[in-house]
Amino acid sequence: MKVVIGQGSCGIATGALKTEAEFKTQLEKQNVKADIDLTGCVGTCYLEPIVDVYEDNGDMTRYVKVQPEKVEKIVEEHLKGGKPVTEYAITDEDKQFLDKQERVVLRHCGVINPEHIEEYLAVGGYESAKKVVTSMTQDEVIAIIKTSNLRGRGGAGFPTWFKWNAAKGNPGKEKYMVCNADEGDPGAFMDRSVLEGDPHSVLEGMIIGGFAMGATEGIIYCRAEYPLAIKRLEIAMDQAREKGYLGDNIFGTGKHFDIRIKAGAGAFVCGEETALIASLEGERGMPRLKPPFPAAKGYWQLPTNINNVETYANVAWIIENGGEAFAKIGKAPSTGTKVFALAGKIKKGGLVEVPMGLKLKDVIYGIGGGIKNDRQFKAVQMGGPSGGCIPAALDDTPVTYEDIVKTGAIVGSGGMIVMDEDTCMVDMARYFLDFTKKESCGKCNYCRIGTKRMLEILERITQGKGEDGDIEKLEELANKIKDGAMCGLGQTAPNPVLSTIRYFRNEYEDHIYNHTCTAKSCKALIHYEITDKCKGCTLCAKNCPVNAITGEVKGLHVIDQDKCIKCGKCEEHCKFDAIIRK
Amino acid sequence: MSETKSCGASRREEFKDLNPVLDKYAKVPGSLITILQQAQEIYGYLSVDTINYISEATGIKPAKIYGVATFYAQFRLQPIGKYLIMLCKGTACHVNGADRIEEAVCEYLNIQDGETTEDGVFTLNNVACLGCCSLAPVMMVRSNDGNETYGNLTKDKVVQILAEIRERA
């Protein structure tokens, strides 16, 4: 018997380590022999901590939300008694979350132990790299990637083969293969899960790409906020070196290729290739003018190729199964799968990997189970601060680079934040602008000053001080920044504003002209009232920090609007839904 | 520029934990961020003295080091409290009411983002995303005992958690 505990960051956040400790205690206490092992993120974050119990014949029972108090029973009845505890096991409905997905990038996540290279080798790991390095030419590798039509998964969707080919063709004493693992998009954690759950697949992708472009060194630029990912990468690199897959004599060919990690220090702009290179060189992460492109003059002015974590995780699969097999998945020219971090007002949040071309509603309802508390679906935000909001009416849009761009959003790195009727779209635009304004590196005026001016207008609007002409001013600024900014951060920063104006102009108008927040979310534009559903339980009055609520026990309560600071505590505590926002 | 005038040997002694880092990286081009990260790991923050010492060892001007240190969100120029509250302001948390959680934290601790409580117990840092979006709203509390993550926060829950930590401190 083997007990495998999901230990990605979200698993650990929900208490997987405490669950593991309890398993150790219970196994000893009940005198049961079983191995305890760990694995990465399965993707069903809403069910963590997840524990898989494997019988000796290979049968597996998956237990969900395994808090320590459930452990004793699982050990006693299943591990000792041989009878699975069905009430703690995953339901058929939740199983669908995984069954409806197609897994290429996440093929090993939540399956193998990321800290044991043997488990990766047992599923065919490093076979692709070996084949490439020992028996193929650089052009042959690039041709396969071209056939697959793999495109950059970091956001822009640029063909991977083209970048590799360009870097291969440019002369340089040294060449660098860089992995961008600086996942700075708030609301996205795909890369983290891949690095934590299957680090070897990223290393293998880098070895293959490094061979194709003729790189001498690989560098992984990873967020310092991802300590677990860095730890697992380091373990994986040590193991790969020991096996001779990295180092001076890779796969016995006498060729040199090694990889090192460089921890990023927290700057969203470093997702931009040239800014990332500046940061690698120990400088402020500010972008440089292109051309020259990194493929010609990158790290230390030498040919450099930069791909995203998810892009690399696809590479070994493509070599193993062929470019055609990959091109068959998805909806050409967007081939393959894409991993999304599904979050926000969604019932079943987590990581989902779907073939490109699946409709948005199939992801949100089919896999995600629909909207939390069965509220009304309003919009989905894709592409983070560089993307936009797609309204519910367009939920049959296929998820491809081309179709999503038409809506004004982008596929981006894969954040998919679902919003319901309580989310104010003006506030959403303000939120993203606040982010990009803070993250603007300050090099070019359009971005540095433009985003600040836009934010000021949006703040005014959400505070109820919007003026006639504000919407037009926002549009004008947005278009100028798009045209004038130097790098991707600035050029895309206005997207959340433009897309919300495009689909939710009425909300902007409500704020400005009617002084109401359509979603009843902007504090300055709402007030709280108590309806006749009130039972006089006094809970609201007791919790009001400013004593603004009065009323007799069992009698209707009233809010003194002059005293009320709109903190919302009364609404939070009311058990009868008697308090409403107006 | 140095705040304390001391001879070379005693300065080396003062920064004895940092010296191995500098021995390894001081002359490797492009290593400034790595050095700053490790210095912060050792001392908790980057003091003027630390920056000057790194400058002497690497030959990089203090102004430039300061420029790099202020560019990245990770670096701190002030000491932090015993418990560092990293309050997630990612998109999923925002949609699920992170602003209201921040209000409650600020009100309870009487500090704003980036500040430390007078008793030196808490420092509040808003962070872009902790990547635990399905637990939103989330905060992580970092101390010498490691990181503890708290999810599905409400105004009351967050205050209760902080009160418990304060009692322990």
A86/A227 Cα distance (integer angstroms): 35
What value does the mean pLDDT of chain A take?
Answer: 95
- For the stretch A242-272, pLDDT in tens is 999 999 999 999 999 999 999 999 899 999 9
Q: Final residue of a domain: which of A469, A489, A514?
A: A514
Q: Final residue of a domain: which of A94, A126, A142?
A: A94
pLDDT at B7 over 90: no
DSSP string, A485-550: -SSHHHHHTTHHHHHHHHHHHHHHHIIIII---TTS--GGG--EEE-TT-----HHHHH-TT--EE
- Interface test with chain A among B22, B27, B95, B159, by most A beta carbons within 10 Å: B95
- Interface test with chain B among A431, A522, A573, by most B beta carbons within 10 Å: A431
Tell me how crowded residue A370 is: count the other CB atoms within 10 A of its CB.
17
The CATH number covering residue A44 comes to 3.40.30.10
Domain boundaries, chain B: 8-71, 83-168
Q: CB distance from A419 to chain B under 8 Å? A: yes
Query: Which amino acid is residue A403, in one-letter code?
Result: D
Asked if A414 and A435 sit in the same domain, the reply is no
- For the stretch A501-526, pLDDT in tens is 999 999 999 999 999 999 999 999 99
Q: CB distance from A190 to chain B under 8 Å? A: no
Q: Tell me if A4 sits within 8 A of A54, measured CB to CB.
A: yes
Alpha-helix residue ranges (DSSP H) falling in A88-151: 92-99, 117-122, 127-135, 138-148
What's residue A284's pLDDT? 97
Residue B106 marked as a ligand binder: no
- For the stretch A189-221, pLDDT in tens is 899 999 999 999 999 999 999 999 999 999 999
Per the structure, the count of domains in chain A is: 5
DSSP string, B72-128: STT--SS---SEEEEEE--HHHHHTTHHHHHHHHHHHHT--TT-B-TTSSEEEEEES
DSSP string, A550-575: E--TTS--EE-TTT-----HHHHH-S
CA separation, residue A267 to residues A263, A486, A493, A514, B130 (Å): 12, 17, 15, 39, 14
- For the stretch B54-106, pLDDT in tens is 999 999 999 999 999 999 999 999 999 999 999 999 888 999 999 999 999 99
Residue A36 lies in a domain: yes
- CB contact under 8 Å between A284 and B134, yes or no, is no
Q: CB distance from B160 to chain A under 8 Å? A: no
List CB contacts (< 8 A) between B131 and chain A.
9-10, 183, 188-189, 192, 225-226
Asked if A213 and A181 sit in the same domain, the reply is yes
Confidence of residue B6 (pLDDT cuts 50, 70, 90): low
| SS3 assignment, position A258 | strand
Q: CB distance from B29 to chain A under 8 Å? A: yes
CA separation, residue A471 to residues A146, A389, A459, A509 (Å): 44, 17, 13, 8
Q: Which residue has the tokens 């290429």?
A: A104
Q: CB distance from B151 to chain A under 8 Å? A: yes
What's residue A189's pLDDT? 87
What's residue B3's pLDDT? 47
User: Which ipTM did the prediction report?
Assistant: 0.89
Residue A334: both structure tokens together = 């967007």
According to CATH, the superfamily of the domain at B83-168 is: Glutaredoxin (3.40.30.10)
> pTM, whole model, 2 decimals?
0.93
Select from A349, A381, A567 the Cβ nearest to the Cβ of B91. Answer: A381
Asked if A375 and A503 sit in the same domain, the reply is no
Q: Tell me if A395 sits within 8 A of A498, measured CB to CB.
A: no
Confidence of residue B1 (pLDDT cuts 50, 70, 90): very low
A400/A397 Cα distance (integer angstroms): 9
Our CA dihedral for A224, A114, A219, A231, rounded to 10 degrees, sits at 30
Tell me how crowded residue B108 is: count the other CB atoms within 10 A of its CB.
17
Q: How close B53 comes to chain A (CA, Å)?
A: 17
- For the stretch A334-380, pLDDT in tens is 999 999 999 999 999 899 999 999 999 999 999 999 999 999 999 99
Asked if A470 and A491 sit in the same domain, the reply is yes
Select from B33, B72, B133 the Cβ nearest to the Cβ of A343. Answer: B133
Contacts of residue B13, Cβ cutoff 8 Å, sequence gap at least 6: none
Evaluate the omega torsion of the peptide bond into residue A292 and state whether it is cis, within 30 degrees of 0. Answer: yes
DSSP letter assigned to residue A387: S
Asked if A225 and A171 sit in the same domain, the reply is yes
- For the stretch A563-579, pLDDT in tens is 999 988 899 899 999 99
Q: Final residue of a domain: which of A327, A355, A379?
A: A327
- CB contact under 8 Å between A279 and B131, yes or no, is no
Asked if A253 and A364 sit in the same domain, the reply is no
Contacts of residue B4, Cβ cutoff 8 Å, sequence gap at least 6: B49
CA separation, residue A279 to residues A286, A294, A491, B22 (Å): 8, 14, 20, 19
pLDDT at A153 over 90: yes
Q: CB distance from B52 to chain A under 8 Å? A: no
Q: How close B153 comes to chain A (CA, Å)?
A: 12
Q: CB distance from B4 to chain A under 8 Å? A: no
Q: List the domain range (segments joined by +) for residue A483.
A: 425-514
- Interface test with chain A among B113, B129, B161, by most A beta carbons within 10 Å: B129
β-partners of residue A343 are A417
